[in-house]
Amino acid sequence: MDKVNILLVGATGSGKSSTINALLGTEAATIGHGVAPETMSINRYECENKILWDSPGLGDGKEADQRHSTNIINKLLEIDDNGYYLIDQVVVVIDGSTRDLGTTYKLLETVVIPNIGKNSERLLIAINQADRVQQGRQWNYEENKPEPELEKILEKKVASVKRRLRESTGINAKVVYYSSTSY
């Protein structure tokens, strides 16, 4: 069976690398700290039946964004040995602690959707850092999950992202929330 190739994209600091680490159960991907981004090229991580591709975040300046966008587009258009697109799934990681999704929607509108089409089955919107949505309040750190009140807030955030995505792109993609932080 072929491995599933998953490309993670998103704004700088949204948690793409920490998501990869959580999925792999290791500290394979280097996580940026402070204001400087860590991932500067598309990196490959392999585990069992999946290959995870970590991409640089957008939002660090026009020149860097153009360079990173071009590299992401090239990866999205890459063909495997069987003549199919290499990337099976695109996961757009969003920082759940912010309401500013301008960089994310621009990424979707100008990079992702023009290069995968409006096939929403290949697209997953992942709201990361759910534990920070209420500045850490109403998060059950022992079980690493939201308390019921925060769960309601997160469901509203999911609905808002779905609505805004549909309005700006015409796509009705699946939206999930999680925290890649391990406590």
**More reliable by pLDDT, 154 or 99:** 154
| pLDDT at residue 51 greater than cutoff 70 | yes
Q: How much is the pLDDT for 87?
A: 95
Contact 96, 132 (CB under 8 A): yes
Q: How much is the pLDDT for 35?
A: 45
| pLDDT at residue 2 greater than cutoff 50 | yes
In whole angstroms, how far apart are CA 41 and each of 32, 72, 75, 144, 165?
13, 9, 11, 31, 27
Question: 74: pLDDT confidence band, cut at 50, 70 and 90?
Answer: very high
Q: How much is the pLDDT for 121?
A: 87
Rounded distance between C-alpha atoms, residue 151 and residue 95, angstroms: 16
Residue 146: its H or E element: strand 145-146
Q: How much is the pLDDT for 41?
A: 82
Could you tell me which residues are beta bridge partners of residue 7? Answer: 53, 90
Lowest mean pLDDT among 34-38, 54-58, 84-88: 34-38
User: Strand order in 50-54's β-sheet?
Assistant: 43-47, 50-54, 4-10, 89-95, 123-128, 174-177
Lowest mean pLDDT among 26-35, 59-68, 93-102, 164-173: 26-35
Question: 78: pLDDT confidence band, cut at 50, 70 and 90?
Answer: very high
Q: How much is the pLDDT for 76?
A: 96
DSSP assignment string, 77-141: H-B-TTSSBS--EEEEEEETT-S--HHHHHHIIIIIHHHHTT-GGGEEEEEE-GGGTTTTTTEET
What's the pTM value of the predicted model, to 2 decimals?
0.89
Contact 165, 173 (CB under 8 A): yes
Task: Say yes or no: domain 10-177 is CATH 3.40.50.180.
Answer: no
Mean pLDDT of the chain: 87
Tens of pLDDT along 103-162?
A: 888 899 899 999 998 777 899 999 999 999 888 889 998 888 999 999 999 999 999 999
Q: How much is the pLDDT for 89?
A: 95
Contact 21, 28 (CB under 8 A): yes
Q: How much is the pLDDT for 177?
A: 94
Contact 173, 125 (CB under 8 A): yes
Q: How much is the pLDDT for 69?
A: 94
Rounded distance between C-alpha atoms, residue 155 and residue 61, angstroms: 32
Rounded distance between C-alpha atoms, residue 118 and residue 168, angstroms: 12
Q: How much is the pLDDT for 40?
A: 64
